[in-house]
Structure 1
Amino acid sequence: MKVRFYTLYFVLFFANVVQASPAVLTQAQCVALKNTRIEAARIGLPTRGAVVANVAMAGHPGNLHCKIEGQIKPIDLKAPDINFQLYLPLSWNGKALQLGGSGFDGAVKDADTARLAPAATPGALKQGYATFGSDSGHQGGVSDASFTLNEEAWDNFAGAQIKKTHDVAVALITQAYGKKPSRLYYQGNSQGGHEALAAIQRFPLDYDGAIAIHPVYNVVELHMAGIRIGQAIYNTPGAWISPAKAALIANAVTGACDKLDGLADGVVANPDACSATFKIAHLRCPQGKDTGANCLSDTQISLVEMLNNPVPLGINLPSGDHFAPWPILRGADASALVSVFGSGADKPKPEASNIIISFPYMMGDQAVRYEVMRDADYDSLTFDPGAHQTRLKELASQVDNDDANIRAFVQHGGKLLMMHGTADVAVPPGNTVAYYEKLRAEFGEKELRQFARFYLAPGFTHSSGTFRASWDSLGTLDKWVDHGIPPGQQVMIDVNKATAGREMPLCDYPLYPKYNGQGDIRSASSFVCTDK
């Protein structure tokens, strides 16, 4: 009996040693991957296979890796390739990280490290992850939707490219190291966050975990809200809010709300209390007429109030007939507000303009002209969503991820982390709150906590803000998935130059970080997460 026991012990011991030992890739093995072809049969959705075009050693001593570039070939010969990049560390930890894009994609976006990682945290490659991403199946700017005129390019963007890129990367990883990844995670911000949710909903068995930052689960609804915002700004004389007035609003909100979290530090960390405290009427011009940069007219106040409330879409879509409020009066800084209102009052031209136009409108304009009307010259400022309900619902069914039933992913053991900045004016945080509430309704609070966490980051916009957050989300996810360690108190670190290094708790929704009245204001330990 003892002999059998010790035999079993040594078998398990050496198995664990083998599993823990990193796989090694040599420079010669890296170069040998050039011109590799992945047959279509190895890709789970229709393609004409994939080819490796370029292979080279990249990085620097101590962090050298094999960089692979290639194309996934479409069925339609007129459709663009899916360009992908795969980074293979010379010492592999057995895991892989797929990274999402931004906007309408169109380029491979930094497929070498985790999004928003703190400077002190080793990059994903240095940790031993194989990392990869794609341009989603077309080439162009993040604000260019002209590719959607091709059906296969649209289908790729709407989600198919996630699976195709995954399968090609796994095939190449397997060829390089001799085995498949033991864990595979998806991480993305904005459109990449949307892709993270799409990955676990549509291809649940491919992923062990996902990180969705600022996710757009309902792209069509977001773009319809952008159209309504653009129409309200550019079709209404006197509605446009200048950069000077945007600064007026931002400074007034900060002045009234900064201390509501117990600390005057430039960050509105308690936006709910701010909504109850600050009143836009305090900025009203005499008699409601525009008299300059130091006040708002009644027409401008009406625009702000429209944004501060659920925005009417003019149509009933899968997620409803309104979109989440924009955090105009909840701590967004002046530059973020300018991105909503634009830098000029003139009606924008269909393409490039000499002014910075409203970002939500710009994205909605692209969607209407190319996805809905399929006419590059169409004036989206005249668009009536109700007259195109059938087409909009068709698009939503193809690209949106409205269904909160992700049980296949959960039963597979998958874990989900979501984060959203409270001052994000590109994708309002209330939209992710709405999705999280869908998950809560689907699973119940107790079960939901077994596989999901959602954090709101005060002062963080879509990519900057008064608190420009960094967060080791990959480390948190991996500990949960691979070691069964649920997320403890999360900490975000500011990367703004003037305040770099200060910390604040990243609190579970719906809590916010409140300064406890003593201790280092730059240390997360001096704050408590509370709803009081």
Structure 2
Amino acid sequence: MSVARRYLCWRVARRVAFALTVPFAFPYAFPCAFLYALAASAPAHAQRAPALPLHCADLAGLLLPASDIDAPTGGALVQSAAMIAATATGNLDGDFCRLTGVIRPQTAGTPDIHFELNLPGRWNGRAVQFGGGGYNGVVVTGTGPTPFSPDRAPLARGYATFGDDSGHHGDSSQANFGLLDEAVTNFGYLHLKKVHDVALALIEQGYGRAPEHMYFAGGSTGGREGYTVIQRYPDDYDGVIANAPALNFSGVRLLGVMVGQSEYRAPGGYLPPQLLEHVYERTMQVCDTLDGAADGIISNVEGCRTKEADIIESLRCAAQEAGAVSGSDECLTPAQLATLKRLRDGLRLPYALAWNADRYRGYNVFQGVRFTSMLGLAHSPERLPQPTFVASGYLFAQGDAYIKYFVTHDPTFDAGNFDVMQPGRYQQRLYTLSATIGAMNPDISRYLARGGKLITLQGLADEVISPNQTIAYYNGLIARYGEERVADFMRLYMVPGFQHGNGVFIPSVDLLGALDGWVSHGVAPQTLLATDIAQPSNGRTRPLCRYPAFARYAGHGNLNRASSFECVMP
């Protein structure tokens, strides 16, 4: 029997089996006419069978036609299907059916989208689509936890899970796929819809019904993808976890270029790691106890912002040192201060990108960001011909790749010479890219109307995605829809001391449980309890307060216990 005919008979046989409440044991070779006749005789009130992933191995080779995917593709193919036993080495997810496959492109030379779908033996009737990170390029298997989850992985908790590579291959730093238009569109948004539709069809194949609830969970690029599905595909999802979202993707890349120019083109603009650490330590000295606790965490960020002028003044080099090309490890020259102010002030363009976005808000440079991290500023005083994350700084390395591959389509282009303020013939390209790879659209009315939910968590000390850009988008939603309506669908938790996956406080909190409780039972999350998993302070707890509140020490009790803190407004 052909793959196409087997697929058709599978769908009919599956529907018959579930309509008659009998186990699905029909061989594929049954005549389709017989199955159609049997289906017609099934009672309308018949109950469905228990949800189990049936005949897992038989799904291998299944071809889904392009008509099953509500986005332009060349169809999809399940390349492998295997049951993974709960006793398999390293498996913590219980029995599940693991499917891998590809979604074919329309344009010759464009890579396939590779995906993985996992169907648990004890399905809870829900599904989670996992987001990626950086420039993606590696299949997200969906077998691990959602971001910051302290509990078992969603698959182990009965969720069907799936993820993909967004349509190209390589690690998260490789941007050369930007030369291929269809690959760029896939990365920007279309891979999300394509993989969702394929996974949904396969879930229906395995269980005989669609999920009761479909969720999305991701951080950074995956956070952008979470906001993207809300804005572009609101009918497909009931709830989204979108952490540290790269909403203004073009904005952060352009700012990264300008930061690199400040470090390497402006004489004396480079700051050695020792000096960056001194800036961090000075900020901690001034601001740590503004929340009532000397705990190494700057929780009262707004209070610390009022001390910024004093912090900067205390860090300036003396007059006799100010004219030096480079200062010491103890003070900032004017050129070095200008680099930090570029980070703090962000980007304000004389032209608009998509959705009238002309700004990228800056970072909390003098409120506790540690730019000596692996994702921080440059560690090398000399600009490398090919920038790398550590030597050249994450922001500049990613911005350089963006200009080369996405904007100019010239791998030899020197982003150090790119004029962000007056991009000339590249301005239209920047606009187009920002519409393709970005989630700044404020119109989420359809998602609101259908009752979708959203949880976003981000570190106030994030050195990769500015927390102030996330806050600005949130405030824009309030200005557009009103505080009450936004509160009906969204929770924003800004975490003091947390950077982009590291920091002096790394939260572990069950966001998926909070989201599912909100969607399934109407229990809106309020203050959450987070456990710190940073090595030096592992196990201490803090309340995660709904923005704009922050956790303040009550003045008594154990500093390592959340019960000793209260959420207060700044």
TM-score, L = length of structure 1: 0.92
- C-alpha distance in 1, partners of 2:62/2:263? 52
8 A Cα contact 1:99 1:114, kept in partner: no
Q: How does 1:60-139 map to 2 (within 5 A)?
A: 60-61=86-87, 63-119=94-150, 121-139=151-169
Task: Report the Cα offset of residue 313 of structure 1.
Answer: 4.2
Task: Report the Cα offset of residue 350 of structure 1.
Answer: 3.1
Per-residue CA deviation, residues 356-413 of structure 1 (Å, 9 max, x unaligned), is 2121111111111111110000001000132222111121122222221111111122
- 3-state secondary structure, aligned to 1:84: strand
Q: 1:281 to 1:311 in 2, by over 3 A?
A: farther
Q: How does 1:66-465 map to 2 (within 5 A)?
A: 66-119=97-150, 121-278=151-308, 279-287=311-319, 288=322, 289=324, 290-313=326-349, 315-318=351-354, 319-333=356-370, 335-336=372-373, 339-350=375-386, 356-385=391-420, 386=422, 387=424, 388-465=426-503
- 3-state secondary structure, aligned to 1:51: strand
8 A Cα contact 1:339 1:357, kept in partner: no
- 3-state secondary structure, aligned to 2:352: strand
- C-alpha distance in 1, partners of 2:394/2:53? 44
Q: 1:110 to 1:494 in 2, by over 3 A?
A: farther
Task: Report the Cα offset of residue 305 of structure 1.
Answer: 2.0
Per-residue CA deviation, residues 31-85 of structure 1 (Å, 9 max, x unaligned), is 2221121111100001111111122333643722222111001111210000001
Structure number with bigger Rg: 2
Q: 1:60 to 1:496 in 2, by over 3 A?
A: farther
- C-alpha distance in 2, partners of 1:347/1:49? 45
The one-letter code matched in structure 2 to 1:96 is: A
- C-alpha distance in 2, partners of 1:174/1:476? 26
- C-alpha distance in 1, partners of 2:554/2:388? 49
- 3-state secondary structure, aligned to 2:545: strand
> Do structure 1's residue 523 and structure 2's residue 523 form an aligned pair?
no
The one-letter code matched in structure 1 to 2:404 is: R
- C-alpha distance in 2, partners of 1:317/1:407? 21
8 A Cα contact 1:22 1:92, kept in partner: no
Task: Report the Cα offset of residue 261 of structure 1.
Answer: 0.9
Task: Report the Cα offset of residue 418 of structure 1.
Answer: 1.2
- C-alpha distance in 2, partners of 1:147/1:479? 39
Task: Report the Cα offset of residue 185 of structure 1.
Answer: 0.5
- C-alpha distance in 2, partners of 1:524/1:42? 49
Deviates more, 1:370-379 or 1:383-392: 383-392
The one-letter code matched in structure 2 to 1:156 is: N
- C-alpha distance in 2, partners of 1:106/1:202? 22
1:31 paired residue number: 57
| Structure 1 spans left out of the alignment, 5+ residues | 1-17
1:10 paired residue number: none
The one-letter code matched in structure 1 to 2:260 is: G
- 3-state secondary structure, aligned to 1:505: strand
8 A Cα contact 1:194 1:212, kept in partner: yes
The one-letter code matched in structure 2 to 1:42 is: D
2:39 paired residue number: none
Per-residue CA deviation, residues 142-170 of structure 1 (Å, 9 max, x unaligned), is 11111021111111011000000000001
8 A Cα contact 2:526 2:546, kept in partner: no
8 A Cα contact 2:387 2:396, kept in partner: no
- C-alpha distance in 1, partners of 2:439/2:179? 22
- 3-state secondary structure, aligned to 1:450: helix
- C-alpha distance in 1, partners of 2:391/2:367? 23
- C-alpha distance in 2, partners of 1:240/1:116? 34
Task: Report the Cα offset of residue 231 of structure 1.
Answer: 0.9
- C-alpha distance in 1, partners of 2:162/2:140? 10
> Do structure 1's residue 494 and structure 2's residue 532 form an aligned pair?
yes
The one-letter code matched in structure 2 to 1:383 is: F
Task: Report the Cα offset of residue 86 of structure 1.
Answer: 0.7
The one-letter code matched in structure 1 to 2:200 is: V
Task: Report the Cα offset of residue 454 of structure 1.
Answer: 0.9
The one-letter code matched in structure 2 to 1:280 is: I
2:23 paired residue number: none
- C-alpha distance in 2, partners of 1:456/1:345? 33
Task: Report the Cα offset of residue 22 of structure 1.
Answer: 5.8
Task: Report the Cα offset of residue 118 of structure 1.
Answer: 3.7
1:58 paired residue number: 84
Deviates more, 1:142-151 or 1:201-210: 142-151
Task: Report the Cα offset of residue 291 of structure 1.
Answer: 4.3
The one-letter code matched in structure 2 to 1:48 is: G
TM-score, L = length of structure 2: 0.86
The one-letter code matched in structure 2 to 1:283 is: L
The one-letter code matched in structure 2 to 1:23 is: A
Q: 1:221 to 1:489 in 2, by over 3 A?
A: same
8 A Cα contact 2:531 2:539, kept in partner: yes
- C-alpha distance in 2, partners of 1:335/1:231? 18
Task: Report the Cα offset of residue 211 of structure 1.
Answer: 0.9
8 A Cα contact 2:100 2:114, kept in partner: yes
2:510 paired residue number: 472
Per-residue CA deviation, residues 405-435 of structure 1 (Å, 9 max, x unaligned), is 1111111221111111100010010010011
- C-alpha distance in 1, partners of 2:305/2:451? 39
